[in-house]
Structures are given as C-alpha cells and as structure tokens.
Structure 1
Amino acid sequence: MTVKDYCLEIQKLLTEVGELNWAKCFENFISELEVSNDNVTYRKIISIYGGMGAFDDVVLYKDGVLCEQENDTLYQLKKELYTQIVADWK
C-alpha cells in the first residue's frame, strides 16, 4: 500500500468510530498527497507521532466502550504507515 492508501484506511477507521478530529487531520493529509507526494507532507504526518496528546496516544472508544478490534487495526496501520513513509522518503 502507498502512504495515501494508509491514510485513507486510517481516516475511514477514525470516522467509523467517531474520532472526527483525527479523521479531519488525515483528510488533510490525503488532500495534500493527491497534489504532491513529497517530503513536506511526510514530515507533517511523522510529526503527529510524538509528544503528549499525539496520534500514538489515540485510544478508540465508541459510545463509552473500548473498541478493541479497531484499536488493534489502528495500531497496525499506524506502524505500517510510519514504515512506508520511511521507505518512501526521498
């Protein structure tokens, strides 16, 4: 999968569980990747991985219930997205 494909999958998952702030963030990445697949967008994506309240800290809940399967999927997608960016870095 491409970086854009990973962003699309993550955005879809986040939207399904109602995590709309992060979903919007990924919508923006997708739009940027449609225009240009460059290091600027990659840097923006990588930057959400660190610090307090970062994307790595996201735990998905829906209606107050922990979404175990969705969290497992999100964890895997986050890891694969990061790996793909590193592999594509120019």
Structure 2
Amino acid sequence: MTVKDYCIAIQKLLTEVEELNWAKCFENFISELELSEDHSTYRKIIAIYGGMGSFDDLVLYKDGVLCQKENDTLHTLKKELYNKIGNVWQ
C-alpha cells in the first residue's frame, strides 16, 4: 500500500465511527498527496503522532461504546503508515 492508500483506509475507518475531526485531517492529507506525494505532506502526517492528545493516543468509541475491532484495525494502520513513511525516508 502507498502512503495515500493508508490515509484513505484510515479516513474511511474514522468516518465510519464518526470521528469526524480526525477524518477531516486525513481527508486533507489525501488531497495534498493527490497534488504531490512529497516529504512535506509526510512530515505533516508524522507530526500528528506526537504529544498529548495526538493521533497516536486516539481510542475509538461510537455512541459511548468502545469500538474494539475498529481500534485494532486503526492500530495496525497507524503503525504501518508510520513505518511506510519511515521506509521512504531511509
């Protein structure tokens, strides 16, 4: 999968559980990647992984119920996206 493919999968998952702020963030990344898949967008993506309340801390709930399956999928996608970008920079 490409960086854009990971972003699309994450955006779709976030939309499904109505995590719309983060979904919009990934929608913006997708738009930027469609224009140019360069390192400036990769830096923006990596930047959301750090700090308190970051994307890396996100736990998905819908209607007050933990979305275990979706959280497992998101965890995998987050890790793979981060590693994909890291591999591009090597």
TM-score normalised according to structure 1 size: 0.98
Structure 1: which 5+ runs fail to align? none
Alignment of 1:12-23 (within 5 A): 12-23=12-23
Partners of 1:89 and 1:3 in 2: CA distance: 12
Partners of 2:34 and 2:51 in 1: CA distance: 27
Alignment of 1:34-53 (within 5 A): 34-53=34-53
Structure 1 segments, 4+ long, off by >4 Å, are none
Aligned length in residues: 90
Does 1:32 pair with 2:32?
Answer: yes
Structure 2: which 5+ runs fail to align? none
Residue aligning to 2:71: 71
**Any idea what the Cα deviations from partners look like across 1:26-77, whole Å, max 9, x if unmatched?**
0000000000011100000000000011000100000100000000000000
Amino-acid identity (%): 78
SS at 1:15 equivalent: helix
Structure 1 residue 87 displacement after superposition:
1.1
Taking only aligned residues, the RMSD between alpha carbons, in angstroms, comes to 0.8
Residue aligning to 1:82: 82
Structure 1 residue 89 displacement after superposition:
2.4
TM-score normalised according to structure 2 size: 0.98
